[in-house]
């Protein structure tokens, strides 16, 4: 049965007006890399809860979450005001099927994220399993502005550790940024720009795609991939595309 555990916020790092990360100390139990929990606050006598992906890997403390403040959003606007020492509720056990055991065998794993949808990938990439299972991993982070490209230090550490087996590609849609593709993921799949820039070809024999974040990106990217012959991954009919919608 689901239970609420009280956590203590030990840091609230504010990256921009609407983007922040919470570090929380809590005994919230075990989870699988890629899963989400719920965070909650008691607001006006009511427990307001929303799902958030773990950015940290199982066993790590403090727990870390990467958040976007939704305009008019009840919980994210309250969480962004929290300070060290403040309390937050965390749900246990964790939930979700955006995990490696749902992924059929493949050589190249493509991980597509918009915004804070990059969190579950960091949780997964900082355990051994994906590096034992896949030949290469391409992490693709699509954001509006350069300031939204956080956690560069994790990307650099993965590059240092795994060399050519790990490729990172940023998309920044609303300004020109060196090294990033200007535009959106589906367009760069359709015109071949993503394969050119990463030097890795997509093929139904070797590729799998995980998609996380903005439901518009998930839908349009799925369509672009289907047009290339990739299929949705379902338990009864394994395929190439595994998704997590954030709203």
Ligand X SMILES: Cc1cc2nc3c(=O)[nH]c(=O)nc-3n(C[C@H](O)[C@H](O)[C@H](O)COP(=O)(O)OP(=O)(O)OC[C@H]3O[C@@H](n4cnc5c(N)ncnc54)[C@H](O)[C@@H]3O)c2cc1C
Q: Which residues contact ligand NAP (rule: CB under 6 A)?
A: 68, 70-71, 114-116, 142-144, 171, 173-174, 184-186, 214, 216-217, 220, 246-247
Could you say which of ligand X, ligand NAP, none residue 220 binds, taking C-beta under 5 to 8 angstroms by partner kind? ligand NAP
Virtual CA dihedral for 211, 213, 214, 218, nearest 10 degrees? 10
- Tokens in use for 126? 């900082």
| Cβ 161 to ligand X shortest distance, Å | 24
Could you say which of ligand NAP, ligand X, none residue 75 binds, taking C-beta under 5 to 8 angstroms by partner kind? ligand X
| Cβ 126 to ligand X shortest distance, Å | 16
- Closer residue to ligand NAP (CB): 64 or 220: 220
Could you say which of ligand X, ligand NAP, none residue 112 binds, taking C-beta under 5 to 8 angstroms by partner kind? none
| Cβ 27 to ligand NAP shortest distance, Å | 26
DSSP string, 52-113: EE--SPTT-SSEEEEEE--TT-HHHHHHTT--TT-EEEEEES-B-S-SGGGSPP-SEEEEEE
Nearest residue to ligand X by CB is 73
Nearest residue to ligand NAP by CB is 115
Q: How far apart are CA 9 and CA 62, in angstroms?
A: 9
Using CB under 6 A, list all residues that contact ligand X.
36, 50-53, 65-68, 70-77, 116, 119, 244, 246-247
Helix (H) or strand (E) segment spanning residue 190 = helix 185-190
- Closer residue to ligand NAP (CB): 74 or 127: 74
Could you say which of ligand X, ligand NAP, none residue 142 binds, taking C-beta under 5 to 8 angstroms by partner kind? ligand NAP
- Per-residue exposure over 195-215, b if at least 16 CB sit within 10 Å of its own CB, e if not: eebbebebeeebbbbbbbbbe
The whole-angstrom distance between residue 238's C-alpha and the CA centroid of its chain comes to 22
| Cβ 44 to ligand NAP shortest distance, Å | 21
Within 10 angstroms of residue 102's Cβ, the number of other Cβ atoms is 16
| Cβ 136 to ligand X shortest distance, Å | 25
| Cβ 211 to ligand NAP shortest distance, Å | 10
Closest CA to 11 of 27, 24, 28: 24
- Closer residue to ligand X (CB): 67 or 172: 67
């Amino acid at each position: 049965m689901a239970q609420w555990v009280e956590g203590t916020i030990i840091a609230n790092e504010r990256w921009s007006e609407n983007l922040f990360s919470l570090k929380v100390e809590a005994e919230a139990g075990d989870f699988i890399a890629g899963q989400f929990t719920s965070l909650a606050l008691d607001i006006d006598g009511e427990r307001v809860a929303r799902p958030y992906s773990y950015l940290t890997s199982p066993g790590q403390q403090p727990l870390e979450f990467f958040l976007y403040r939704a305009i008019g959003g009840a919980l994210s606007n309250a969480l962004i005001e929290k300070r060290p020492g403040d309390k937050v509720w965390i749900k246990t056990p964790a939930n979700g099927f955006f995990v490696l055991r749902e992924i059929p065998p493949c050589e190249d794993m493509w991980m597509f994220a918009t915004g804070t949808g990059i969190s579950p990938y960091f949780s997964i990439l900082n355990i051994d399993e994906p590096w034992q299972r896949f030949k290469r991993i391409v992490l693709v982070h699509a954001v509006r502005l350069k300031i939204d490209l956080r956690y560069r230090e994790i990307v650099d550490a993965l590059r240092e550790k795994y060399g050519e087996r790990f490729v990172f590609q940023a998309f920044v849609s609303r300004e020109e940024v060196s090294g990033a593709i200007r535009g959106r993921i589906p367009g760069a799949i359709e015109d071949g720009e993503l394969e050119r820039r990463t030097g890795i070809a997509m093929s139904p024999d070797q590729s799998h795609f995980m998609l996380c974040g903005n439901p518009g990106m998930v839908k349009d990217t799925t369509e672009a991939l289907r047009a290339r012959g990739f299929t949705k991954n379902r338990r009864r009919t394994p395929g190439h595309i595994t998704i997590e919608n954030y709203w």
